[in-house]
Amino acid sequence: MQLPVDIKAVIEEAASIDGARQTPLSVSVYVDDTAPGDVQAHVRQAFASASPHARVSLMYLEGRPFSPYAGDDMAVIVAGLDEQVGECASRLREAGVPVMVATTLPALVADIAQASGHAIPAGDLVAPKAPRDLPAESSEGAAAPPVRAA
Model confidence at 134, pLDDT cuts 50, 70, 90, reads: low
Rounded Cα distance, 140 and 142, in Å: 6
Q: Among residues of the chain, what percentage have pLDDT more than 90?
A: 47
CA distance 41 to 68: 22
* Angle (nearest 5°) at CA 76 between 72 and 80: 150
> What is the residue extent of each domain of the chain?
24-129
| Angle of CA points 68, 73, 17, to nearest 5° | 165
- Whether the predicted pLDDT of 144 surpasses 60: no
Per-residue pLDDT at 131? 73
pLDDT for position 1 = 44
Neighbours of 31 (CB within 10 A): 22
What is the CATH class of 24-129? alpha beta
pLDDT digits (tens, 9 = 90+) for 71-111: 899 999 999 999 999 999 999 999 999 999 999 999 999 99
Could you report the per-residue pLDDT of 16-63, keeping only the tens digit for each? 777 667 778 899 999 999 999 989 998 888 888 767 888 889 999 987
